[in-house]
Amino acid sequence: MLKENVRIDKWLWAARFFKTRSLAIDAIESGRVKVGGERIKPARIVHLGDKLSIDNGSDKWDVLVLGISDQRQGAPIARLLYEESEESIARRATEQERRRLFQDPGADYKGRPTKRDRRVRGGLFDE
């Protein structure tokens, strides 16, 4: 399970930040994964103690590398590969709460709106 020379794209996949290595590579190349605040390449070797900033599209993580693995396993085991910072945990919790409380503008529609629904919503005619 533990290896010494593991590419960062493979580590991100094994630590379950991305579903596929291709997604991890795309994130690295677009600058959404940084080590010590600097952009990297997918072939960079990950080291113990590296501080990573990861944006996987839905969440932003700040983690410290505690273990190195190139095999994707269950989430409880993958969670042992890194430690998330307190600021990152708080930021993700507030973002999750904000998403939970957000009212989708079209949530009260049931299917496609009718002509009458559009008129009522648009305020064109009074009934």
* Sequential DSSP letters for 26-95: HHHHTT-EEETTEE--TTPBP-TT-EEEEE-SS-EEEEEE---BSS---HHHHGGGEEE-HHHHHHHHHH
**Is the model's pLDDT at 121 over the cut of 50?**
yes
Segment holding 11, helix H or strand E? helix 8-14
Q: Note the pTM of the prediction, 2 decimals.
A: 0.76
| Yes or no: domain 1-86 corresponds to CATH 3.40.50.920 | no
| Mean of all residue pLDDT scores within the chain | 88
Q: d(Cα 81, Cα 71) in Å, to the nearest integer?
A: 11
pLDDT above 70 covers a percentage of the chain that reads: 90
Tell the residue number behind the tokens 């932003």, with chain if given. Answer: 60
pLDDT digits over 41-97, tens only? 999 999 999 999 999 888 899 999 999 999 999 999 999 999 999 999 999 999 999
pLDDT above 80: residue 127: no
